[in-house]
Structure 1
Amino acid sequence: MEKTLSRTETSEAVSDAGWRFVLGTLQTSVPVGSLAEAARITSLVVGTCGDDADQHLRVDVRPTRVILTLQSLAHAAATTRDIDLAHQISAAVQEAGSRTAPDTTPEAPRSVQLIELGIDALDIAAIRPFWKAALGYAPEAGADGPTDPLIDPLGQGPAIWFQQMDHPRPQRNRIHLDISVPHDEAPHRLKAALAAGGHLLSDLRAPSFWVLSDPEGNEACITTWQGRDN
């Protein structure tokens, strides 16, 4: 039976296959040399997933790589079925002469990531309908409460979540970015952001997240799945 595992179990189950657990999804990318090759890889992956493709697989096709995401739409989470599909896809891609393992050389482009937009609010239930309507967003499966996050149903824009404020904070920005990266890439991303003029505001919750700011105080968090469960 399809079920969800802990974050640690999920990450460990797919890392050796070249996938990374990022923000409730399994992600990897396959390097390609052309859009035609990307289309062939996509066809191979969809065929490997079979009847599960529509409910578990998302594909972003580019001339240089194919980005693959696995997540159960019914559970809004990566499940044991997604783990099985990840291993099957990696085996099929490898047999076709390509790879799902990330390129970790310094000059390589980044692998995978997901962006969330965090909005501070005194009354989340009052502002959530506005953002839902203005962006054409929708709730995740099974999570349509008055304070729940919103997602782009087409998967093109960042997810939005709402942070409860106890009192107004006019002295700081009320919108910040959460950049969810593979856990083993977070130290490099943190180092690069600081070297580019950023400031570390807090690492009290690391490795779940580090709070950074740009030189003018605008905030962003580098986040991973680690530290959120055992």
Structure 2
Amino acid sequence: METLPFWRDLFRYTDLGNGNLGDPTGRQANLNIRGIPADSILQHEFRVDVSLPRSIVRQRVAAAVAAGGRITDDARAPDRWILTDPAGNRVKVSSSLSS
């Protein structure tokens, strides 16, 4: 799954195997990353909005890029970035005022 490292590193989750990612603290929802079969008629994408403390947002953006993502819009940085994972799914990463 080419997108799994991107989401794992963005959220700092643990790889649980079989496309499952989990919050190591147990406080957040797990993610299940599934591929779309090549013969599927429907092709989907999803978009996620994430708010992170200002003290860590740059570190998480850098980790997501290092894991195969790319910054597609940083015109409002450091308040907001739009990242795209290797499959083209987008995430808006905003920095909150709290640290």
TM value normalised by structure 1: 0.23
Aligned to 1:199: 70
Indicate the SS of the match to 2:60. helix
When the two structures are aligned, how many residues end up with a matched partner?
Answer: 59
Shift of 1:224: 1.1
The aligned residue for residue 94 of structure 2 is 223
The structure with more radius of gyration: 1
Selected match of 2:56 from 185, 204, 215: 185
1:206, CA displacement in angstroms? 1.2
Structure 1 or 2: larger strand share? Answer: 2
Q: CA deviation at 1:178?
A: 1.0
CA displacement, residues 187-213 of structure 1 (integer Å, 9 cap, x when unaligned): 110110000000100101112210000
Is the counterpart of residue 208 in structure 1 residue 79 in structure 2?
A: yes
1:19-34 maps to which residues of 2 (within 5 A)? none
Please list every run of at least 4 consecutive aligned residues from structure 1 whose deviation after the TM superposition is greater than 4 angstroms.
none
Name stretches of at least 5 consecutive residues in structure 2 with no aligned partner: 1-24, 30-43
Distance 1:207 1:193 in 2: 15
Q: How far apart are 1:225 and its partner, in Å? A: 2.7
Please, what is the CA RMSD of the aligned residues? 2.7
Q: Distance in 2 between matches of 1:217 and 1:180?
A: 20
SS of alignment partner, residue 48 of structure 2: strand
- How do residues 137-176 of structure 1 correspond to structure 2 at under 5 angstroms? 173=45, 175-176=46-47
Q: Per residue, is there more helix in 1 or in 2?
A: 1
**Alpha-carbon distance in 2 for matches of 1:210, 1:203:** 5
Q: Which amino acid aligns with 1:191?
A: A
Unaligned runs of 5+ in 1: 1-63, 68-113, 115-155, 157-171
* Aligned-partner Cα distance in 1 for 2:96–2:78: 8
